[in-house]
Amino acid sequence: MDTNMKTFSFSTARKIIFGLGAVKQLSEELQNLGAKNIAIITDTVIGQSEILDKVVTQLREGGFKYTVWDKAETEPSVAGGEAAIEFTRKGNFDGVIGVGGGSVLDNAKVSALSITNAGTLSDWLKKTFQNPPAPLVLMPTTAGTGSEVSNAVAFSTPQGKAVLFSSLMYPSLALVDPEFTMTTPATVTANAGVDTFCNGMEAFVSLNATPITDAFALQTMQLVADNLREAYACGDNIEARKNMSLAALLGGLAFGTAGTVLGHACAYAYSYPATSIHLPHGYAVAITTPYTMEYNAIANQTKYATIAKILGEPVEEMSLRDAAFQSALSFKKLLYDLDIPASIRTTGVTKDMISTIAQNVFQSPAHVARNPRKVTEKGMVRLFENAYEGKLDCEQ
C-alpha cells in the first residue's frame, strides 16, 4: 500500500446479524434496544407475505406493541417519506423496524429520525437534522441495495434524486435473514445481484476506497462471481441465495463508506427521473456498466485486472492493460448469462437523447468526483454511443 495513504474513516450499522433464521433474534435485540412500541414500515407486497408474519410473530411473542404501515412506494418520493413520518408521529412509537427493499428501508430511516427530531423530510434534505434516530432495525428482503448498513437515503423529487446522508443515520441493527430473499423472482435476483456486484466494484475503484472497504469489496465481487448465475438459474439453490445475500451485505459495507462512482451516475443519467424511462435500479446500472468499466480501466489497471480475475478470466498470461480491459468483456458475459441486454437502445433510449444523457451524468457530482478517471462530456457522449450500439471499443 502506498506511503501517502490518506486519512480515512469507516462506520457502519451499530450491529449486524446475518444468517438463515436470524429473524428469530429480533425480539431479544429489540429488548436490548429498549424499544416497546414499534412502527413496522413495509410495502403492500411484503405486507401480505409470510415474511411480515415472521416479523410480527416475533413481536407478538416478545410482548411488544406494534403497528404496521405498508404504504412505502417502490420509487420513494419526498411526499411518501413525509407520509411515513406523519404515521410515525401519530403513533407515539419508540422504535422502528423496516422490512423490505431499499425504498422501504429508506422510509424506515426517516421514520426513526422523526421520533427524535423536529421538522419534515424536506427540511432535513435542506439543512440536515440534529439527533440520532430512535432504535432502528433494518431487515432487507432483496439482496442488493445494502441500504441496511448505509447512512444515506434517496428520495425522488420533480427535479431529480435528493439524497440525505449523515453519520448519525446508521441503524442500530442490520438484521439480514437470507430466508427473506428466497422467494425473489429470477429477474429481480439478476437485477439486484448485478447491482450488488457493481456496488462492490465501484467501491473498489472509488477514489474514496480504503483498505477496509477493499477487503469487503473483494469478498463481495468474489461471492457474486461464484453464486449469481446459479441463484438466477435456480432460485431453490439455497446456498447460492445465501451467498448472494451475504454479498449484498458486504457490498453495503464497502460502498457505504467508499461510495459508488461513474457506473451509478450513468444509470441515473438515462433512467427516471432524469428521463422518462422507468427501469429497476440494478437493471439500469447493469446495462451501461461494461462501458463505464472500459472507460475507467486505464485509470487503475491493477484493480481492473483484479476484477477480471475475480470474474473468472485467465489473466495470468495477459499484459496488465489487456487484463484490465478484459474486465469489461467479462462483465458483458455475465449480463448475457443473466438475460440482461448490453445496449440502452433496448430500454427506449433514442440516438437524439444521447447528448442530453451525457450531460445528465454531471448531475451526480459526488459520484463523478469519486470516479478514478476524470469525467468529460466528450468521454460520456462516446460512452453512451457505445452503450447504444451495445459494442465495446475493445471488441472492434
Partner 1 sequence: MKAFPFATAKKIIFGRGSVQQLSDELKILCSGKIAIITDEIISKAGPLDTVKNVLHGAGLEYDIWDKSKSEPSIESAEAAIQFVRDGNYSAIVGLGGGSVIDTAKAVAVALTNPGSLSDWVKQGFTNPLGPLVLMPTTAGTGSEVSNAGVFATAESKYALYSPLMYPDIALVDPDFTRLIPAHITANTGIDALCHALEAYVSLKSTTITDALALQAMKLIPDNLRAAYACGDNMEARTNMSLAALLAGMAFGNAGTVIGHACGYAYVSPSTKFHFPHGYSIAITMPYVLEYNAIANMEKHATIAALLGESIEGLSLRDAAISSAIAFKKLLADLDFPSSIKEVGVTKDMLPDIAKNVFKSTTHVARNPRKITEEAMVKLFEKAYEGKLDCE
Choose the binding region for Fe ion from 40-48, 192-200, 219-227, 307-315 (rule: CB under 5 A). 192-200
- Of the pair 24, 333, the CB lying nearest partner 1 is at 24
> What is the 8-class DSSP label of residue 346?
G
- Of the pair 166, 187, the CB lying nearest partner 1 is at 166
> What is the 8-class DSSP label of residue 151?
S
Q: What is the smallest separation between the CB atom of 34 and partner 1, expressed in angstroms?
A: 10
Applying CB under 5 A, does 202 fall inside the site for Fe ion?
no
Say if CB 327 and CB 304 are below 8 A apart. Answer: yes
Applying CB under 5 A, does 195 fall inside the site for Fe ion?
yes
Taking CB within 5 to 8 Å according to partner kind, which of partner 1, Fe ion, none is near residue 350?
none
Taking CB within 5 to 8 Å according to partner kind, which of Fe ion, partner 1, none is near residue 167?
partner 1
Q: 40: which strand partners?
A: 68, 97
- Of the pair 211, 365, the CB lying nearest partner 1 is at 211
Q: What is the smallest separation between the CB atom of 362 and partner 1, expressed in angstroms?
A: 30
Dist. CA 116–CA 123, nearest whole Å: 14
- Of the pair 236, 352, the CB lying nearest partner 1 is at 236
> What is the 8-class DSSP label of residue 353?
G
- Other CB atoms within a 10 A radius of the CB of residue 371 amount to 25
Say if CB 140 and CB 182 are below 8 A apart. Answer: no
- Of the pair 7, 159, the CB lying nearest partner 1 is at 7
Cell 461510495 belongs to residue: 259
Choose the binding region for Fe ion from 128-136, 189-197, 348-356, 370-378 (rule: CB under 5 A). 189-197
Q: What is the smallest separation between the CB atom of 12 and partner 1, expressed in angstroms?
A: 7
Q: What is the smallest separation between the CB atom of 276 and partner 1, expressed in angstroms?
A: 40
- Of the pair 18, 272, the CB lying nearest partner 1 is at 18
Taking CB within 5 to 8 Å according to partner kind, which of Fe ion, partner 1, none is near residue 10?
partner 1
Q: CA dist 362 to 204, 232, 353, 367, 380, Å? A: 21, 34, 15, 9, 10
Q: Is 251 helix (H, G, I), strand (E, B) or coil?
A: helix
Q: Is 175 helix (H, G, I), strand (E, B) or coil?
A: strand
Taking CB within 5 to 8 Å according to partner kind, which of partner 1, Fe ion, none is near residue 195?
Fe ion
Q: Which of 371, 194, 388 is nearest to 295 (CA)?
A: 371
Applying CB under 5 A, does 214 fall inside the site for Fe ion?
no
- Of the pair 242, 332, the CB lying nearest partner 1 is at 242
- Of the pair 81, 102, the CB lying nearest Fe ion is at 102
Q: Which of 221, 204, 254 is nearest to 372 (CA)?
A: 204
Q: What is the smallest separation between the CB atom of 259 and Fe ion, expressed in angstroms?
A: 11
Taking CB within 5 to 8 Å according to partner kind, which of Fe ion, partner 1, none is near residue 179?
none
Q: Is 266 helix (H, G, I), strand (E, B) or coil?
A: helix
Dist. CA 23–CA 141, nearest whole Å: 12
- Of the pair 78, 212, the CB lying nearest partner 1 is at 212
Taking CB within 5 to 8 Å according to partner kind, which of partner 1, Fe ion, none is near residue 384?
none
Q: Which three cell numbers stand for residue 243?
A: 451467498
Taking CB within 5 to 8 Å according to partner kind, which of Fe ion, partner 1, none is near residue 349?
none
Residues at the contact surface with partner 1, assessed by CB under 8 A: 1-3, 5-12, 14-22, 24-25, 32, 167, 170, 177, 210-212, 214-216, 218-219, 223, 242, 246, 249-250, 253
Q: Which of 326, 297, 292, 298 is nearest to 311 (CA)?
A: 326
Please count the CA atoms within 13 angstroms of the CA of 68 that sit on its side-chain side: 19
Please count the CA atoms within 13 angstroms of the CA of 292 that sit on its side-chain side: 28
Please count the CA atoms within 13 angstroms of the CA of 305 that sit on its side-chain side: 15
Q: Which residues bind Fe ion (CB under 5 A)?
A: 195
